[in-house]
Amino acid sequence: MNIIIATYKEYDIKNLDNLKTIFPYFNFYLINDKNKLTLTYIKNIKPKYIFFPHWSYYIPKEIYENYECIVFHLGDLPFGRGGSPLQNLIIRGIYKSKISALKVCDVLDGGDIYLKYNISFKYFSAQKIYEKISRIIFTKLIPQILTLDVKPYKQKGKVLVFKRRKPNQSNIKTINNINIRKIYDFIRMLDAKDYPTAFLEYENIKIYFKNAKFKNNIIQAKVEIYEK
């Protein structure tokens, strides 16, 4: 059986190596360049599944209509469709949710559900949480889909769509009803590679916050100060 994994995240690629060890009788192909996600390339592989962990690029209709394409999304769908799901959950004070494995379709995060898996994220940085999500995808969700006869089902419930966050929303001053816990959550939810870091501005000075620790109602964090 041929399987395609489409991802450009280092932690996904590392976990893919472990998946290959668990399933040596499957042929795994990695697509880590969006320009390779073409019908011509995929036709040559003839995959049973195409999995998209942490994939934020457009998936062509001609691909998901001809192959079984499965994307993974943080959220108990249909609650929390859309962009920046981790940040949108944490900023609402939600620390428990599910990772949904769903079929790709023409509605963003609106496809049929294969599986859901519980996850909590009350502490730790976004980077560590993303790595945790990756481990769950590669050790729990993908193996179950590959070995069990999982039938996808329609999403049920009220739809809530999250908006993708913008860089200017990383300003700590945007926090509503601010308190110590909210500041900690704000710093850590933005603390990931290639993500707009939490910051404060004062005249010509910009202050960035990372590596937040929260204990005894006190935040300790790494601070970087730059002159604009």
Say which DSSP state 212 is in: E
Q: What is the pLDDT of residue 60?
A: 96
Give pLDDT tens digits for 90-144: 999 999 999 999 999 999 999 999 999 999 999 999 999 999 999 999 999 999 9
Check residue 175 and give its pLDDT.
Answer: 97
Q: pLDDT tens digits for 143-153?
A: 999 999 899 99
Model confidence at 194, pLDDT cuts 50, 70, 90, reads confident
Give the model's confidence band at 228: pLDDT under 50 very low, under 70 low, under 90 confident, else very high. Answer: confident
Give the mean pLDDT of the chain. Answer: 96
**pLDDT for residue 169:** 97
The percentage of the chain sitting over the pLDDT mark of 70, rounded to a whole number, equals 100
DSSP per position, 38-82:
-HHHHHHH--SEEEETT--S---HHHHTTSEEEEEEESSTTEEEE
**The tokens 């489409």 sit on which residue?**
6
Per-residue pLDDT at 40 exceeds 90: yes
Q: What is the pLDDT of residue 142?
A: 98
Distance from C-alpha of 119 to C-alpha of 141, rounded to nearest angstrom:
13
How distant is the alpha carbon of residue 224 from its chain centre? 26
pTM tops 0.75: yes
Residue 71 region by backbone torsions, left for phi larger than 0, else alpha for psi between -120 and 50, else beta: beta
Query: pLDDT category, 46, cuts 50, 70, 90?
Result: very high
